[in-house]
Amino acid sequence: MLTIGLLMIEHRLIERMIKLMAKEVERAKQAGQADLNFIDTAVDFIRTYADRCHHGKEEDILFNILGKKPMSDKDKKMMEELISEHVWGRKTVGSLVDAKNQYAQGNKGSLKDIIKFCEQLIDFYPKHIQKEDKIFFPASSRYFDQLEQEAMLEECYEFDRKLIHEKYSKLVEKLES
C-alpha cells in the first residue's frame, strides 16, 4: 500500500534517531553529564518529525479514514492501542523536557530522570514501530482499494507541505508574544 510504504520509510529515520539517543545515553552515563544540545535536538526531532509529522499522518489521515470503515474488532483494538501509545510518547517527551530544564537550571540530580525518560523512549519506539510494520499496517492495507490509497498518499504529501509552515508560524507567534 502506498501510504503504508511512506509511513514505513519514516519509521527507518525514527529508528536511526533512536540509535543515536541510545549512544548518547551511554555517553551521558559514562560522563556523568547530559548534552543539553543533543537533548534539545532529539526532542525537536521526536516532537516535529516522529510525532507531529509521522504520527500526525497516522492519526489525522490513516486512522481517521480507517475509523470510518467497518473494521474487525481486533484491528480496531490495535488502532486504539497505537493511539494510546502515541499519547504515552508525547507525555514521556514532555517529562524528558521537564527533566532537561531542571538539569539546565543546575539540578544535576535530574540527569537520572533524563536518562530514564530517554531509555523509556529508546525501548518504546522499536516495539511500537514493529507492531505497526509487522501487524497493523499489513492488516489495515486490506481496507483500501487503489483509488483510496492514491488519495491518502496525496493527502500525506499535502500534510508534509503544510507542516513546515505550521511549525515556523508557531515559532514566530511564540517569539512575538
Q: Express each pLDDT in 23-43 by its tens digit.
A: 999 999 999 999 999 999 999
pLDDT digits (tens, 9 = 90+) for 80-121: 999 999 999 999 999 999 999 999 999 999 999 999 999 999
Mean of the pLDDT values across residues 40-63? 96
Where in the sequence is the domain holding 133, given as residue range(s)?
Answer: 2-176
The total number of structural domains that make up the chain = 1
**pLDDT over threshold 80, residue 1:** no
Q: What is the pLDDT of residue 165?
A: 86
Question: CA 82 from chain center: how many Å?
Answer: 11
Predicted structure pTM score = 0.92
Q: What percent of the chain has pLDDT over 90?
A: 90
d(CA 40, CA 64): 31
Q: What is the CATH number of the domain that holds 38?
A: 1.20.120.520
d(CA 67, CA 104): 43
